Amino acid sequence: MVRTMPTYVINRKKLDFFSDEQLKDNLPLIKCGVEDFNSEITIEVTSDRPDLLSVQGVGRALKGFLDIETGLPSLSTETLKKSGVKVFKDADVLMIRPYIVSAVVKKKISEEDLIDLMNVQERLHQTHGRKRKKISIGIHDASKLKPPFYYKAVDPESVSFTPLNEEKEMNLKEILEKTQKGREYAFIIQSFNKYPLLVDSNNNVLSFPPIINGTLTTLKPGSSNLFIDITGTDFEACNSTLNILCQDFADQGAEIETVEIIGSEKIETPQTTPEEMLLDLKEANKTLGLNLNEKEAIKLLRKQRLDAENFNSMLKCKIPRYRADFIHPVDLVEELAIGYSFKKFNPEPPSLFTKGGLSEQTILTEKIRNAMSGSGFIEIENHVLSSEFLMDKCFVEKFIRIQNPVSSEYSVLRSELFPLLIETASKNTYHAYPQKLFEVGEVILPEKQVKTNLNVSALILSSKASLSEIASYFYILSKSLDIEFKLEKSESKKFLENRGLSIKVNGVEKGFIGEVNPEILVEFGIEMPASVFEFNVSNLHVTKIKS
């Protein structure tokens, strides 16, 4: 699977605080690769730094790196004024799109500001927001609205409004069917009976997240009272995105005011209090091959727009909430390395000589890939981390939960590949059918001792998808891998009644095969019949596999 880093263009004049030499020499050292440098600069940003998707974010990071302006930015150190605006969150949205955060921004925007803002918004949607599934952003002219606001779930045909860039009113169902944005992002919510909506006290529609805003609140040059709403499936992702936008506005001199979100509990957003994480400086020095003292380490962290202080022989580090990339103390070690500058590290040759070669698992995996690709399947590569929601909806009974997950989307270790293939299919309903997908990858099983297996799974979506068809492809794969197996009836809820089988080798269950239960397909907005197999290939001996 090819992954590309976000790339965008900055007008050179917007970074005129810095010399050409400063930009060319230092942008690559702060995770901003320079692809083109003229009157416009083409920048490629690493995907873990959504705060660098704006000219303000780049300028902020570069000022720190060059020791011009260090430590926590203003939003992390100041107490924000309360706007008095409230958003009431209805319990009905909790199973659809459970989180909303908001802010009020006081700043008169120009036409150029507006273009930049829309571009940054879309970059955040496509990257940090996972194409709006994880987070989506609405920015409104608040002068046309009457607070408080209400975030609720409504029947798709019960509310009509004029969507952005459209001329006539449509209900929510029509918006998904008739507008470009509706068709593009319908997969996120179309499996639900109700859709999320944000309205004011006069029932004026601000937004239909994550699809589109209403035309009433369209921003125009001269707008000076802005209301930001961010909805999503993960609170920290929503809050970090709001902090990115608010810090960008604050860097331009805007006044940021908080909004009260009232649901089962009350919170003020944006939440700007820095996160704290402890760093063992001895371990950091060992990892980097350096000998930094506490004072030097704190200075380097401040160059990275963090802060730190001594705490029980450790460093207590403070991280601004617009930084969405901190999971483990090793991330602080990386910040030390960047602040120190990679130019100063001296590469050393490895102390041991090793002869490379393909592992048995790699040879086996390639054999499976060749067999499946030869049968017309497209390979998918998903992450081993997944969500409990996804496992539950696909009737996966056993899996390992992660303690204190950073995101609800990565809260469990997958024990089957099948649910992630279904999720992939749900995101591609606008492509032509039939679709044939497969994945070969690791799964983690919650046994007495945690066990890692290598599985292969294949999914067919077609009007003619059947048990016999998917079984024929498994038979082809089994011949390629020299596997002898038996099929027995399965009672799994994954399958239509009497249309599921378990795959056994030497009397031991190694997988399953069958026609997917329509309940699962409906949950994911898939209207096409589907059949699937999944098989554990961990204990196959490569010596039996013909090249």
Indicate if 138 and 234 belong to the same structural domain: yes
Task: State the DSSP H helix or E strand holding residue 390, giving kind and residue range, or none if neither.
Answer: helix 388-393
Among the candidates 231, 246, 269, a domain finishes at: 269
Task: State the DSSP H helix or E strand holding residue 388, giving kind and residue range, or none if neither.
Answer: helix 388-393
Among the candidates 289, 311, 343, a domain finishes at: 343
Residue 73 φ/ψ, nearest 5 degrees: -65, 170
Yes or no: say if 443 and 416 are a contact pair by the CB < 8 Å rule. yes
Could you please report the per-residue DSSP string of 412-456? EE-S-SHHHHHHHHHTTTTS-S-EEEEEEEEEEE-SSS-EEEEEE
Q: Which tokens is 539 given?
A: 């204990």
Residue 426 in domain: yes
**Measured between alpha carbons, how far apart are the two ends of the chain, in Å?**
24
Residue 114 in domain: yes
How far is it, in rounded angstroms, from Cα 306 to Cα 319? 5
Query: How many CA atoms are closer than 13 Å to the CA of 101, on its beta-carbon side?
Result: 25
Question: Alpha carbon 29 to chain centroid distance?
Answer: 25
How far is it, in rounded angstroms, from Cα 338 to Cα 29? 7
How far is it, in rounded angstroms, from Cα 254 to Cα 244? 13
Pairing relationship of beta strands 385-386 and 412-413 according to DSSP bridges: antiparallel
pLDDT computed for residue 1 by the predictor: 39
Question: Alpha carbon 407 to chain centroid distance?
Answer: 9
Q: Which residues pair with 454 in a beta bridge?
A: 442
3-state helix, strand, coil in the chain (%, to 5): 35, 30, 35
Indicate if 291 and 258 belong to the same structural domain: no
Q: Which tokens is 208 given?
A: 């239909």
Beta strands in 142-282 (DSSP E): 149-154, 160-161, 170-171, 195-199, 205-208, 212-213, 225-232, 255-262, 266-269, 275-279
Residue 380 in domain: yes
Q: Which amino acid is at 312?
A: N
Residue 382 in domain: yes
Residue 402 in domain: yes
Query: How many CA atoms are closer than 13 Å to the CA of 379, on its beta-carbon side?
Result: 15
Q: What CATH number does residue 286 fall under?
A: 3.30.56.10
Residue 352 in domain: no
Q: Which residues pair with 227 in a beta bridge?
A: 104, 140
pLDDT computed for residue 404 by the predictor: 79
pTM (two decimals): 0.77
Indicate if 299 and 225 belong to the same structural domain: no
Indicate if 139 and 179 belong to the same structural domain: yes
Residue closest to 104 by CA, chosen among 129, 81, 127? 81
**CB atoms near residue 423 (< 10 Å):** 17
Pairing relationship of beta strands 435-445 and 378-379 according to DSSP bridges: parallel
Residue closest to 48 by CA, chosen among 119, 127, 142? 127
| Residues of the domain holding 41 | 7-69
Tens-level pLDDT at each residue, the chain (547 residues) = 344 678 999 999 999 999 999 999 999 999 999 989 999 999 999 889 999 999 999 999 999 999 999 999 989 888 999 999 999 999 999 989 999 999 999 999 999 999 999 999 999 999 999 999 999 999 999 999 999 999 999 999 999 999 998 989 999 999 999 999 999 999 899 888 999 999 999 999 999 999 999 999 999 999 999 999 999 999 999 999 999 999 999 999 999 999 999 999 999 999 999 999 999 999 999 999 999 999 999 999 999 999 999 999 899 999 999 999 998 999 999 999 999 999 999 888 878 888 888 888 888 999 999 999 999 999 999 999 999 989 999 999 899 998 878 777 888 999 999 999 999 998 888 789 999 999 999 999 988 888 999 999 999 999 999 999 999 999 999 999 989 999 999 999 999 999 999 999 999 999 999 999 999 998 888 999 999 999 999 987 654 444 4
Yes or no: say if 533 and 416 are a contact pair by the CB < 8 Å rule. no
pLDDT computed for residue 541 by the predictor: 62
Indicate if 183 and 202 belong to the same structural domain: yes
Q: The tokens 């609405």 sit on which residue?
A: 138
Could you please report the per-residue DSSP string of 19-65? -HHHHHHHGGGGTEEEEEESSEEEEEE-TT-GGGSSHHHHHHHHHHH
Q: What CATH number does residue 171 fall under?
A: 3.50.40.10
Q: What CATH number does residue 538 fall under?
A: 3.30.930.10
pLDDT computed for residue 356 by the predictor: 84
Q: Which tokens is 270 given?
A: 């944006």
How far is it, in rounded angstroms, from Cα 5 to Cα 43? 10
Yes or no: say if 333 and 293 are a contact pair by the CB < 8 Å rule. no
Yes or no: say if 164 and 213 are a contact pair by the CB < 8 Å rule. yes
pLDDT computed for residue 542 by the predictor: 52
How far is it, in rounded angstroms, from Cα 514 to Cα 468? 9
How many folded domains does the chain comprise?
Answer: 4
Indicate if 415 and 430 belong to the same structural domain: yes
Which ranges in 159-231 belong to alpha helices (H)? 172-178, 180-185
pLDDT computed for residue 61 by the predictor: 97
538, burial (CB in 10 Å: exposed 0-12, middle 13-18, buried 19+): middle
Residue closest to 272 by CA, chosen among 73, 461, 474, 118? 73
pLDDT computed for residue 540 by the predictor: 79
Indicate if 419 and 476 belong to the same structural domain: yes
How far is it, in rounded angstroms, from Cα 96 to Cα 153? 8
Q: What angle is formed at CA 344 by the lines to CA 341 and CA 345, rounded to 5 degrees?
A: 100
Beta strands in 255-364 (DSSP E): 255-262, 266-269, 275-279, 307-311, 314-319
